[in-house]
Structure formats: structure tokens, C-alpha cells
């Protein structure tokens, strides 16, 4: 078909998603293959597999939560992984519609709003980040205002998307090469965006540099609550390994602190539910989100209770905020 051959492998030419995505811009067939793969994965991973995991006594699916399954301290879920049920596509949301509460009950989903960026604002004491959260602004739009030097009303969807990628890229140590690939830019332009971000967010730049100095000096970093993660590889002679450790150390302080907060929230909500004699209970944790099953008549009392506990479980230098949604299935309640 005279299409570009892409990356060479031992068996021939690569047909991975990245290659096919690029080819799909030139011909419709690679796009059809990608669509088929997506549907086949949903079918094999969820449609075929989940019904076989129903417990014969309860008629439910029960996941395993692992306390030590991640390096940052987040809970992980396995057999099956219920933290990975798709949400971004219409077909993925159809699968979520199969997760339902008992008759007469509701699902109540409560998730922290931008918790990792709020933690970063607290740790870095960055003026722009803190001001945006105190004013209750959309943080990605606020970053776009600073980054593109425009009025808030001039921020386009594309500007906000760029700012969002950069905001989270900072936490995960994204460099110019990866940012360029994510945003479809050349590396020079991507580096300029990164430089502009740090010029406007001096507190963030200072904090990230301090974390790198700390991990080199101590061999570990700590979350807000003094939970440590050790990095013996920081002394490696391999420069790539050292650079990876520096990025991981930053992520460990930010995502690790957010993981601590959600666990504290889980315990706090459980205590309040027990004290109130509520029939509602927590059925699932998906990183920054808690999913409850609740009798329909308790929804009006449970909602403010959960919000109060989650927003006040710790005291940061910026406010914690949660979003709450209710429905008859997991898609509707998200």
C-alpha cells in the first residue's frame, strides 16, 4: 500500500499503537485496526473476564487491594483491577454502567479535585498556584493565563489543554522531548513552554531543585506526613538511572502525599459512618476517588458528611476540595 514502514523489529516492521496512529493520518486501514484492537481489548479484559469472577455466595466481584503494590504508596487493585475500568470512551462507559448498587440503593462517588497540584502548591509555596486555588479558579486555565500571558476570557480549549499537560508533566518530571511528543510540538518550542512555566512559577522550580538536592544528600525523600521512600540508585554511575531517580523522587513527595491523604480520608469517613450508625459503606477506592453504596434515603445526609471529612482530613496551606456525584450505576455517578 506504499505506506511508511515505521520502526524495524526482529520480526519485521512494528505495528504498535504509536506507529499505527501515525499511519492512520495517511490511510483509513490503520485506524480500523486500532479501533478493532480497542474493542477486542475491552471484550477480553472486561466483557469476557469479569462475569467469570463473580463470587458464588455474594453474586459480586471482589477485588484485592494491595497496600504495598506501588512505589508511591497508592493502593493498587488486582484480580480484577477495578481501578482501571475505562471511562474516556463511550464503550468504556458502557462497561461502567454494569456496576450497580442493590435495589433501593445509590452509588455515591466523591473525588478530590486536583489533589496532586494542591499538594504541590502546599509543598512549593508557589504564589501563583496558591492564589489560583484560594480563588477557586480552574487551575489549568490559570496556568494558561500565566503561560500565554492572556486575559482569562482569552484562554482557548487548546491553551488549557497545553497547560494541563504541562501542569501534570511538572509533577512527573516530563522533559522537552516527551512534552513535544504529547503536544505535537518541536522540542525547541516544548522547552520554551517549560522554561516559561518555571519562570512564572518560581516556587515550583525552587521546590523541585530542593527535592533533587535532598535525595542526593539523604538517599530518601519524605511525604508531608514523613513517610519515606529510599532511592539507593541515586549513587549510580549511570546518568540515565540518576535522572530517573530525580524524577521519581519528585513524584514520590507529591503523589505519595496525596496517597497518604486519601488513606486518611478513608479511615476518617469509616469512623464517621460508624458513629452515625449509617448503613452506607465504602466499596471501592480509585486513587483520588472513593465510591460508596448508600441507601437512597441516606444520600442527603451522607453527601455532606463525606465532603466534610474529606475536605478537612488534613490542613494544607491551600484548601482541599472534592467533587460529588450520585447515580444508579458507576457511569451515571461519575
What is residue 270's predicted lDDT score, i.e. its pLDDT?
95
Q: Using CB atoms within 10 A of its CB, is residue 295 exposed (0-12), middle (13-18) or buried (19+)?
A: middle
* pTM, two decimal places: 0.89
DSSP type of residue 53 = G
pLDDT at 17: 84
**What are the structural domains, with CATH classification, of the chain?**
1-48 (no CATH), 116-257 (1.10.150.20)
pLDDT at 18: 80
What the block records as the C-alpha cell of 313 is 482530613
Neighbour tally for 162: CB within 10 Å: 22
What percent of the chain has pLDDT above 90?
69
120/116 Cα distance (integer angstroms)? 6
* pLDDT block averages, 10 residues each, the chain of length 334: 78 83 85 92 93 93 92 92 88 92 96 95 95 93 90 90 88 83 86 90 94 95 96 93 92 95 96 94 94 95 95 96 95 90
Amino acid at each position: 500500500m506504499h505506506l511508511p514502514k515505521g520502526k524495524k523489529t526482529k520480526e519485521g516492521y512494528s505495528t504498535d499503537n504509536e506507529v499505527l496512529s501515525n499511519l492512520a493520518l495517511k490511510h483509513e486501514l490503520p485506524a480500523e485496526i486500532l479501533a478493532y484492537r480497542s474493542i477486542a481489548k475491552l471484550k477480553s479484559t472486561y466483557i469476557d473476564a469479569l462475569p467469570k469472577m463473580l463470587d458464588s455466595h455474594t453474586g459480586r466481584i471482589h477485588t484485592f487491594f494491595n497496600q504495598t503494590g506501588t512505589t508511591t504508596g497508592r493502593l493498587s487493585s488486582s484480580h480484577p483491577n477495578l481501578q482501571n475500568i475505562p471511562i474516556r470512551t463511550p464503550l468504556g462507559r458502557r462497561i461502567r454502567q454494569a456496576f450497580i448498587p442493590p435495589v433501593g440503593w445509590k452509588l455515591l462517588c466523591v473525588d478530590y479535585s486536583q489533589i496532586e497540584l494542591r499538594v504541590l502548591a502546599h509543598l512549593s509555596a508557589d504564589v501563583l498556584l496558591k492564589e489560583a486555588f484560594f480563588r477557586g479558579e480552574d487551575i489549568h486555565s490559570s496556568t494558561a493565563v500565566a503561560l500565554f500571558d492572556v486575559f482569562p476570557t482569552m484562554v482557548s480549549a487548546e491553551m488549557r489543554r497545553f497547560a494541563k499537560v504541562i501542569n501534570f508533566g511538572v509533577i512527573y518530571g516530563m522533559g522537552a522531548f516527551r512534552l513535544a511528543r504529547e503536544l505535537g510540538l518541536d522540542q525547541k518550542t516544548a522547552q520554551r513552554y517549560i522554561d516559561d512555566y518555571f519562570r512564572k512559577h518560581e516556587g515550583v522550580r525552587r521546590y523541585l531543585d530542593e527535592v533533587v538536592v535532598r535525595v542526593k544528600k539523604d538517599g530518601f525523600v519524605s511525604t508531608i506526613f514523613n513517610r519515606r521512600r529510599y532511592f539507593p540508585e541515586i549513587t549510580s554511575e549511570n546518568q540515565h538511572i540518576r535522572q530517573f531517580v530525580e524524577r521519581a523522587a519528585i513524584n514520590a513527595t507529591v503523589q505519595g502525599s496525596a496517597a497518604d491523604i486519601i488513606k486518611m480520608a478513608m479511615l476518617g469517613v469509616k469512623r464517621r459512618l460508624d458513629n452515625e450508625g449509617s448503613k452506607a459503606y465504602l466499596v471501592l477506592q480509585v486513587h483520588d476517588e472513593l465510591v460508596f453504596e448508600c441507601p437512597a434515603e441516606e444520600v442527603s445526609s451522607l453527601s455532606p458528611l463525606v465532603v466534610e471529612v474529606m475536605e478537612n482530613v488534613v490542613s494544607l496551606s491551600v484548601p482541599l476540595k472534592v467533587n460529588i456525584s450520585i447515580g444508579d450505576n458507576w457511569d451515571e455517578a461519575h
